[in-house]
Structure 1
């Protein structure tokens, strides 16, 4: 074989080898480049998703803490304790005896008064239903058993409730709460049970239900959902996921009878949140450690970040499945980088062109990173503002108001100054919504907050506790002075109507106020203010009631004497 022939043979072979080597090296360089982009995208998006799920967990914990306070407070009231002591003679004798028990309880004047009390308490507490269960497991009073014979017949009055899971621990003396589906209404909710003691003896429990419909703001962000302690998704931003079960959850080990008892259903489709095995198939350049952090669902395309917060002191857990927004672009970038590096290695002419494209791409990458950072900062600012202020009225949010209350209590004690707290509730607010529409109700809430700002000092604070209920903090103010302030506020609300409301809308407010004592906790002073508010509402509304720090003060006895 002569030299010419050898050159003709080895030339194409060398060219093919060079092309293969350049392609292989270009692949390694492209892998490294896109891995850096993936790390940056994961870091930025993980910060945002962590902030979202942490805020979601805080809202859940705060809402449930407020809901727990109502039955816990009622369990301490004399009227509840006395009613349960008096009802110990009601006991279960089988399902056939329930109609007779219901009829006897509905005719019992004392239990009717207690049901009226529960109905009024439900009206301003934000709960869907409240009922009392004696130590024998019999429901003796219910908030929906008055004024309507049909409602009375469908209420829990007279029912043997010992088989309710949420009640078992309460009748053993422990506070409990659990998710469940109402047997009569079929509506899901959180059931809270607080044991009631009288003179050291367990006499029954106060049970309250918060409907899931009231808590939909928990899953306002796309991809969020909430699961109970059995691993069942009880609410989700995508409602199609509700009723699914998390992988290896406790509900999969329960018997069909247990599932029907709690959820009124037996089948729970698998949520199938799992490490996305397709990541390495689509992109072999993704490190195994990084691929193990990316999850997939059958309902979505592409990998996602998965965040979960458990141990919210309620059995509930907060979850977020956040699709990796940069994934399609990363796949495109890898293919492009591979080709660009290959062309760079192929020749000096292509090198100049590749450098230009790489420079433009780097500029775009930095701009995208800067934009993501700005979006993260904007999102954090928005989340902080939403956490501090109510979107409708501009008043402090409930969570921030509670934080401020704790701070003001510490400051008042450190400076040895008085501190007053009041709870205000707009009278007949539901009637305003029913007659004039929810827009008028919103204007009424805004007008009340504007009136508070005009009447209160700059150091005072107003927060929206929920619905038409507001909390007021009056630092460096004793009870007598605080009562004068809120009385002026009440009179001003009536005297100065809102120009945004129809003339026939007459606004009035009931206010309960109390003063900080030496050993008060935030929950205690809020409970006293709530009792004072109840005294104002039961005393005819459109009035102010003050409750001194002493629990045995006349206003507290006045509430009990209503019965």
Structure 2
């Protein structure tokens, strides 16, 4: 073979080799470039998703803490302890004896008065139902045993409650909290059971139910869902996920009878949350460590970030599956980068063009990073504002108000200054919504907060605790002065109507106020203010009641009225 023939043979081989080398090197460069973009996108989106799921977990923990307060408080009340002590003669016999026992309880004047008391407590507490169960496991009083023509058939009064899972520990003397589906109503909710002791003996349990429908704000963000201690999704932004089970959860090991008892169903399809297989298939350039952080679901075709938060002082856990929005663009960028770098390496003629494209791409990369950082800052600012203020009224949010209360208590104790805490509740608010519509109800809430701002000092604070209930914080104010302040507020609300409401809407408010004692904690002063509010409600509404710091029970007339 002569030299000419050899050159003719090796020429195409060299060209193919150069093309392959350029293609391989271009692939490595493109991998590196897109990995940097992926790192930046993941960093920003992980911060946003972490903020979302942390805020969700805080809201859940705060809501549950508020829901626990009433049963725990009622367990300490003489009226509840006395009723349960007197009901120990009611015990489980057989199913045939249950109707007669129910009829006897409903005809018992003492128990009927207790049911009235529970009904009133439910009305201002935000709970769906409250009932008392004696130490024998028999429901002796219920908030739904009155105002119901079919109460003898629908009420829990007289029912044997011992098989309810949420009562097992409570009847043994331990506080209990669990998700379940009501056997009578068929409605899901969170059941809270607080043991009641009288003279050192367990006499029964106060049980409260918070319906899931009241807690839908937990999953307001797309991709969020809440699971119970058994791994069952009890609510989700995408309602199709509700009733599914998390992988390897406790529900898979429960018997059919246990499932039926708690959930009234036996089938719990699995939710597949696993490392997204399409990551390595679509993008082999993604590092293994990063691919292991991207998850996939059937309902979410894009690789997603998965965040979960447990330990919310309950068996509940908060979850977020957040799709990586930049994924399609990253795939497109990788393909384009590979080709561009290959063309650059293919000839020196394209060198200037490659430098220009790299410069433009670097500028775009920095601009995208800056835009993402600005979006993150805006999202954090929005989340902070939402966490601090109620969106409708502009009052402090419940969580921020509770934080402020804790700080003010510490400051008052440190400076030896007085501090007053009040809880205000708009009277007959449901009637305003029913007669004039929810828009009028919203205007009524706004008008109350505006009235508070006009009457209170700049150092005072007003926060929305939930629904039509508001908390008032009066630093450096004694009980006598605080009562005068809230009484002026009550009178001003009646005297100065809102121009945004129909003239026939008469607004009034009931207020309970108390003063900080030297050893008070936030829960204790709130509980005392709540008792004062209850006294104002039961005393006829549109009034102010004050409870001294050394008082731990409602005023005497309140107990008498309850019976």
Q: Place the TM-score, normalised by the shorter chain, in its bin.
A: over 0.9
User: Do the aligned partners of residues 110 and 346 (structure 1) sit closer, same or farther apart at CA in structure 2, a change above 3 Å counting?
Assistant: same
Farther off after superposition, 93-102 or 61-70: 93-102
What is the aligned partner in structure 1 of residue 126 from structure 2?
Answer: 126
Please report how far the alpha carbon of residue 153 of structure 1 lies from its aligned counterpart in structure 2 after TM superposition: 2.2
Instruction: Check whether the contact 2:528–2:552 (CA below 8 A) recurs between aligned residues.
Output: no
How far, CA to CA, are the matches of 1:23 and 1:73 in structure 2? Answer: 73
- 1:344 to partner: Cα distance: 1.1
1:90 matched residue in structure 2: 90
CA–CA distance in structure 1, aligned partners of residues 472 and 330 of structure 2: 52
Give the SS at the match of 1:131.
Answer: strand
CA distance in 1, matches of 2:317, 2:284: 34
Q: Spell out, residue by residue over 1:319-355, the C-alpha distance to the aligned partner (whole angstroms, 9 max, x if none).
A: 0000111111111111111111111111112222222
- Gaps in structure 2 of 5+ consecutive residues: none
- Evaluate the alpha carbon distance shift between residue 414 and residue 319 of structure 1 in structure 2; reply closer, same or farther with a 3 A threshold: same
Is 2:313 aligned against 1:313?
A: yes
What secondary structure does 2:252 align onto? helix
How far apart, CA to CA, are the structure 2 residues paired with 1:213 and 1:262? 18
Residue 178 of structure 1, CA deviation: 0.3
Q: Quick check: 1:262 aligned with 2:262? A: yes
The residue that corresponds to 2:376 in the other structure is 376
Q: Distance in 1 between matches of 2:522 and 2:342?
A: 67
What is the alpha-carbon distance in structure 1 between the residues aligned to residue 552 and residue 247 of structure 2? 53
Partner SS, residue 504 of structure 1: coil
Whole-angstrom CA distance in 2 between matches of 1:407 and 1:228? 32
What aligned pairs does 1:270-349 form with structure 2 within 5 A after superposition? 270-349=270-349
1:485 maps to 485
Alignment of 1:533-544 (within 5 A): 533-544=533-544
Partner of 1:556: 555
- Cα distance in 1 for residues equivalent to 2:223 and 2:354: 39
SS at match of 1:391: coil
What are the Cα deviations for residues 267-310 of structure 1, in whole angstroms up to 9, with x where unaligned?
11110000112211111111111111111111121211000001
Equivalent residue for 2:211? 211
- Secondary structure (helix, strand or coil) at the match of 1:537 reads helix
Give the deviation of 1:56 after TM superposition. 0.5
CA deviations over 1:492-540 (Å, ceiling 9, x no partner)? 0000000000000000000010000111111111111111111111010
Q: Runs in 1 of length 4+ with deviation above 6 angstroms? A: none
Distance in 2 of aligned mates of 1:383 and 1:147: 42
Pairing 1:23–2:23 present: yes
Question: Gaps (5+ residues) in structure 1?
Answer: none
2-structure distance, mates of 1:225, 1:128: 22
| Of 272-281 and 114-123, the range deviating more from structure 2 | 272-281
Are 2:507 and 1:507 aligned? yes
Paired position in structure 1 for 2:137: 137
Show the counterpart of 2:113: 113
| Partner Cα separation in structure 2 for residue 98 and residue 192 of structure 1 | 24
Give 1:147's aligned residue. Answer: 147
Tell me by how many angstroms 1:147 deviates: 2.4
Aligned to 1:466: 466
Partner of 1:361 in structure 2?
A: 361
Match for residue 80 of structure 1?
Answer: 80
Can you list the C-alpha shifts for 1:230-274, whole angstroms capped at 9, x where unaligned?
000000000000111000000011111111111111111110000
CA distance in 1, matches of 2:452, 2:152: 40
Cα distance in 2, alignment partners of residues 53 and 123 from structure 1: 31
Cα distance per residue 1:13-35 (max 9 Å; x no partner): 11001000110111111111111
State how 1:175-190 maps to structure 2 within 5 Å: 175-190=175-190
Match of 1:164? 164
Give the match for residue 3 of structure 2: 3
Deviation at 1:550, TM superposition (A): 1.7
1:203, 1:351 → 2: CA distance?
A: 87
Distance in 2 separating the partners of 1:425 and 1:431: 14
Give the number of equivalent residue pairs: 562
Change (3 A) 1:362 1:152: farther
C-alpha change, 1:259 and 1:552, in structure 2 (3 Å) is closer
Distance 2:292 2:77 in 1: 54
Task: Map 1:379-390 to 2 at 5 A.
Answer: 379-390=379-390
Question: Contact 1:517 / 1:549 at 8 angstroms: preserved in 2?
Answer: yes
Answer whether contact 2:103 2:152 (CA < 8 A) is retained.
no
Check conservation: 2:393, 2:445, Cα contact below 8 A: yes
Bigger mean CA offset, 104-113 vs 144-153 = 144-153
- Please state how far the C-alpha of 1:366 moved relative to its aligned partner: 1.2
* Counterpart check, 1:416 vs 2:395: no
Is the 1:146–1:152 Cα contact (8 Å) retained in structure 2? no
Matched with 1:430 is 430
Once the two structures are TM-superposed, the CA of residue 365 in structure 1 deviates from its matched residue by: 1.4
User: Following the alignment from structure 1 to structure 2, what is the Cα–Cα distance between the partners of residues 496 and 152?
Assistant: 46
Which residue of 1 is the match for residue 67 of structure 2? 67
Contact 1:49 1:322 in 2 (8 A): yes
2: CA distance, partners of 1:418 / 1:547? 14
Please give the alpha-carbon distance, in whole angstroms, between the structure 2 residues aligned to 1:118 and 1:158.
16
CA deviations 1:162-188 (Å, max 9, x no partner) are: 000101111101001000011111111
2:546 corresponds in structure 1 to 546
Q: What is the alpha-carbon distance in structure 2 between the residues aligned to residue 315 and residue 60 of structure 1? A: 11
Check if 1:225 corresponds to 2:234.
no
Q: Distance in 2 between matches of 1:397 and 1:552?
A: 27
Does the 8 A contact of 1:145 with 1:153 survive in 2?
no
Contact 1:464–1:471 at 8 Å: present in 2 too?
A: yes
Task: With the length of structure 2 as denominator, give the TM-score of the two structures.
Answer: 0.99
Shift of 1:389: 0.5
**In 2, distance between residues paired with 1:310 and 1:148?**
39
1:96 shift after superposition: 1.5
Distance 2:489 2:278 in 1: 63
TM-superposed deviation, 1:148: 2.0
CA separation in 2, counterparts of 1:270 and 1:448?
A: 48
RMSD of the alignment, in Å? 0.9
Distance 1:552 1:91 in 2: 32
| Offset from partner CA, 1:30-79 (integer Å, 9 cap, x none) | 11111111111111111111111001000000000000001000001110
Measured after TM superposition, the shift of residue 7 of structure 1 is 1.4
Please report the TM-score for the alignment, with normalisation by the length of structure 1: 0.99
